[in-house]
Amino acid sequence: MSALPAVFADLQPAAVWRHFATLCAIPRPSKAEDALRDHLHAWAVARGLEAHVDGAGNLIVRKPASPGHEAAPGVVLQAHLDMVCQKNADTDHDFTRDPIRPVLKDGWLVAEGTTLGADNGIGVALILAVLDDSRLVHGPLEALLTVDEEAGMGGAQGLEPGVLQGRLMLNIDTEDWGEFYLGCAGGLDVNVARPGTPDALPAGHEAWQIALTGLRGGHSGVNIHEERGNAIKLLVRVLRDLESQFPLRLASLEGGTARNALPREARATVALPAGRGDALGEALARWQTTLRQELAGVDAGVSLAHAPASADAVLTPAEQSVWLASLHAAPHGVRRQSLAVPGVVETSNNLGMASVGPDGGSCNFMVRSLIDSGSDALADEIVSLFALSGTAASKSGHYPGWAPNPASPLLARCQRVYARDFGGESVVKVVHAGLECGIIGAKYPGMDTVSFGPTIRGAHAPGERVEIEAVGKVWQLLTAILADIAQV
């Protein structure tokens, strides 16, 4: 790799940030982690570590116990290689080719126009630093660096039973320092697709693009309860109202770019009779005022704008009605709060992506629940909604939740080390997001697992940032836990 970028030069712990710089330099979208994985495989082999890539594409690296600690329980250190790739519309960035370019701001490392990939690159960097440090005290270690976590948990789903030797697992993929996670939601996807037959652009009509922008976006599980705006749902709502004011014909609707990110932006191309542009602008200005009032304190930066566009064809009136009515009626957000775990969302869904045009369209819903039957029930409702119009909708990619075990000996050890080294009480939580722990645990019954990590804000959205001080604390905690486990 090239020289360490200046932004990382003075950050501590240096080894962790050096590895994170590598992850920023090598593109790693979901399903395209090969270059990074192969680089890390070669790095591990060059250091005399046992390393191999399994059939699912995961990288597994083994490090022997430090001298005198060979009899200690084996520990699996787990994180995922891929990142959510989101950028602002005015940011020129190709996630398949360009490096992430973070900056320092008030104690945080930030990517201003893109996602940073601290989720889960910091977890990977912490694990690599453990593998790299010959001075640490620990028992036998295995690093499980999975692929395709953000786009369907493919790496964890494809992990074979019997590969891992350790029976304790530390997952480094949560986003609040001082908290230990002991359970997470499972989920599945609902994929909707419908063909269409184009209509010609009506005579005497002109095309306009309507853009809804300025939303914060965020993680579709972690932030779902905050009532942030969904650009697709909001723009569809606006379009439904515009239909009542104008003889509007829809040419296209596009919104969202990731199934597990709250849609920040959406755009529609519409055709109106010539000369109605000013009236369209006035209607959008009224809607912008309404939406800013509704989203005050959450997403008050929402913006609606229109500009001349071009269109060769539009949806038929029947198809336009089906799509706008269905998307308007489709659920999004929190369905139910947990009664078993107060303060935690039990079931939710995210209308994360939609793409509709004259030839047909598609959309995706990501459904999450702490209870498998809860996610199935909500997914079935969505399938039934689209079935009313004869639209194909199918469920796929189910992954199990991670059931909490409050009596976990590993949790008790982690809490004890935290209290000893940081002089305070840690917090135990269940997160309404998908971690790979449940999938891995189903393949390795009896695996005792705890998840923790540094403070990350804005995951899955441009402006994602990680607190530098918290990364140092996690490094201190991780190495202390490994040393504590080694004392047998």
Among all residues, which ones are annotated catalytic?
82, 149
Q: How far apart are CA 258 and CA 218, in angstroms?
A: 11
Would you say 336 and 347 are in contact if contact means Cβ atoms under 8 Å apart?
A: yes
Q: How far apart are CA 192 and CA 206, in angstroms?
A: 30
Identify the bridge partners of residue 205 per DSSP, sorted by sequence position: 273
Identify the bridge partners of residue 313 per DSSP, sorted by sequence position: 200
Q: How far apart are CA 430 and CA 194, in angstroms?
A: 37
Would you say 376 and 177 are in contact if contact means Cβ atoms under 8 Å apart?
A: no
Q: Which two tokens stand for residue 61?
A: 């690296």
Q: How far apart are CA 74 and CA 181, in angstroms?
A: 20
Would you say 376 and 211 are in contact if contact means Cβ atoms under 8 Å apart?
A: no
Nearest to 329 by CA among 278, 251, 381: 381
C-alpha distances (whole Å) from 465 to each of 69, 119, 122, 474 are: 37, 9, 11, 16
- DSSP-derived pairing of the beta strands 427-431 and 179-184: parallel
Q: Write the single-letter amino acid at 386.
A: F
Would you say 265 and 215 are in contact if contact means Cβ atoms under 8 Å apart?
A: yes
Burial 100-131 (b: 16+ CB within 10 A, else e): bebeeeeebbbbeebbbbbbbbbbbbbbbbbb
Residue with tokens 């999004």: 332
Q: Write the single-letter amino acid at 287.
A: W
Would you say 78 and 172 are in contact if contact means Cβ atoms under 8 Å apart?
A: yes
| Cis peptide, bond prior to residue 350, ω within 30 of zero | no
Q: How far apart are CA 142 and CA 155, in angstroms?
A: 16
Q: How far apart are CA 332 and CA 236, in angstroms?
A: 13
